[in-house]
Amino acid sequence: MNDQAISAGGRAWVKGVRDAIPLLGGYIPVAISFGLIANQSGFSSWEAIIISLVIYAGASQFLFVGMVASGAPLWLVVVMTLLINARHLVYAPNLAPWLTGNRWWFWLMHGLTDQVFALAHTRLPALPSSERLGWFTGAMLLAWFSWVGGTALGAFAGQELTGRWPLLNDVMPFALPALFVVLLAPRFTSWLWAAALGCAIVVALLFAANGLPNVAIPVAALLGAAVFFVMQSNTRAEV
Partner 1 sequence: MAGELWVAVIVAAAGTLLMRLLPLVWMQRRLAREDGQGGAAAMPRWLGVLGPVMIAAMLGASLVPAAGTLNAWVATIVGGAVTLLVWWRTKSLGWPVVWGVVAFGVVRFLAVTVN
Residue 49 contacts residue 39 (beta carbons within 8 Å): no
How near is the Cβ of 143 to partner 1 at its closest, in Å? Answer: 13
Residue 43 contacts residue 65 (beta carbons within 8 Å): yes
State which of positions 31-70 bind partner 1 (CB under 8 A). 43-44, 47, 50-51, 54-57, 60, 64, 68
Q: Which of 188, 221, 189, 183 is nearest to 202 (CA)?
A: 221
Using CB under 8 A as the binding rule, whether residue 163 contacts partner 1 is answered as: no
State which of positions 2-31 bind partner 1 (CB under 8 A). 18-19, 21-22, 25-26
* List 1, 74, 237, 239, residue binding partner 1 (CB under 8 A): 74
* List 39, 85, 137, 146, residue binding partner 1 (CB under 8 A): 85
State which of positions 179-218 bind partner 1 (CB under 8 A). 179-185, 187, 193, 196-198, 200-209, 213, 216-218
State which of positions 103-122 bind partner 1 (CB under 8 A). 105-106, 109-110, 112, 114-115, 117-118, 121
Residue 136 contacts residue 124 (beta carbons within 8 Å): yes
Using CB under 8 A as the binding rule, whether residue 161 contacts partner 1 is answered as: no
The residues, any chain, with a CB within 8 Å of residue 63's CB and separated by 6 or more, are: 77, 80, 81, 84, 214
Tabulate helix, strand, coil % of the chain (nearest 5).
85, 0, 15
Return d(Cα 157, Cα 151) in angstroms, integer. Answer: 10
* List 93, 236, 237, 238, residue binding partner 1 (CB under 8 A): 93
Nearer to partner 1, 142 or 176 (CB): 176
Residue 170 contacts residue 47 (beta carbons within 8 Å): no
Nearer to partner 1, 6 or 181 (CB): 181
User: Between helices 58-69 and 45-54, what is the axis angle to 10°?
Assistant: 140
Return d(Cα 27, Cα 111) in angstroms, integer. Answer: 13
Nearer to partner 1, 20 or 153 (CB): 20
How near is the Cβ of 14 to partner 1 at its closest, in Å? Answer: 14
Q: Which of 79, 112, 115 is nearest to 95 (CA)?
A: 112
* List 6, 14, 170, 191, residue binding partner 1 (CB under 8 A): 170
Nearer to partner 1, 1 or 74 (CB): 74
